[in-house]
Amino acid sequence: MNQAIISAATEGGTNPLVPNPWEMLVVFAGFAVLMYVVVKYVVPMFEKTFAERAEAIEGGIAKAEKAQAEASAALEEYKQQLTEARTEANRIREEARAEGAQILAELKEKAAAESARITAQAHTQIESERQAAVVSLRAEVGTLATTLASRIVGEALSDDARSARVVDRFLADLENQNAGVAK
């Protein structure tokens, strides 16, 4: 250690700012070689890695964005389809309701007509039966009354023409009385 100090002290005559040309040459050559390696290999390799990494990340982001857009588009489509389906269902329901109401009305109408028809038919039947009953009664009641009266009176009322006249008059009176009561 002392040797170093002494040698440094004896060199004190030389100016420390004056360079050693060999040292300058070595530093220059070494730096040139380093620059060559850095320019040729180190920087391109690092930059390539950085670029690839940035691309990988940005590519991933772009892909994710695309997927997101697709998903939201699909969601939109589904929503629209759902809305359409709902509208369709509502429409069908409305139609069914209207149709049902129409069928019901038709049925009601038909039933009413049927019942009216049945009533009318019954009326006609009753009327005709009444007529038949009236006719047969007129004949039978006449005969019975004549027979009864002949028995009571003891006089044979065999003269049909006369008895028929009597019965008719009697019945007409009866009908007149009935009509008066009905009025």
Contact with another protein (CB under 8 A) among 7, 13, 17, 154: 17
Minimum separation from the CB atom of position 40 to another protein (A): 9
DSSP for 125-152? HHHHHHHHHHHHHHHHHHHHHHHHHHHH
Nearer to another protein by Cβ, of 7 and 158: the residue is: 7
Binding of another protein by 161 (CB under 8 A): no
Contact with another protein (CB under 8 A) among 16, 153, 155, 182: 16
Contact with another protein (CB under 8 A) among 14, 22, 154, 159: 22
Q: If binding means CB under 8 A, how many residues of this protein chain bind another protein?
A: 37
Amino acid symbol at 96 = A
Q: Which helix (H) or strand (E) holds 70?
A: helix 43-153
Q: Within 13 A of 180's CA, how many CA atoms are on the CB side?
A: 6
Tokens of 135: 């006719």
Nearer to another protein by Cβ, of 4 and 153: the residue is: 4
Tokens of 10: 């004896």
Nearer to another protein by Cβ, of 37 and 139: the residue is: 37
Answer for the pair 145, 170: CB distance below 8 angstroms, yes or no.
yes
Contact with another protein (CB under 8 A) among 7, 10, 14, 20: 20
Answer for the pair 167, 142: CB distance below 8 angstroms, yes or no.
yes
Tokens of 33: 């070689």
Contact with another protein (CB under 8 A) among 11, 14, 23, 107: 23
Binding of another protein by 174 (CB under 8 A): no
Residue bearing tokens 């008719």: 168
Nearer to another protein by Cβ, of 44 and 100: the residue is: 44
Among residues 24, 45, 42, the alpha carbon closest in space to that of 34 is found at 42
- Scan residues 39-98 and list those touching another protein (CB under 8 A): 39, 41-43, 45-50, 52-53, 56
Tokens of 16: 């420390």
Residues that bind another protein (CB under 8 A): 1-2, 4-5, 8, 16-24, 26-28, 30-31, 33-35, 37-39, 41-43, 45-50, 52-53, 56
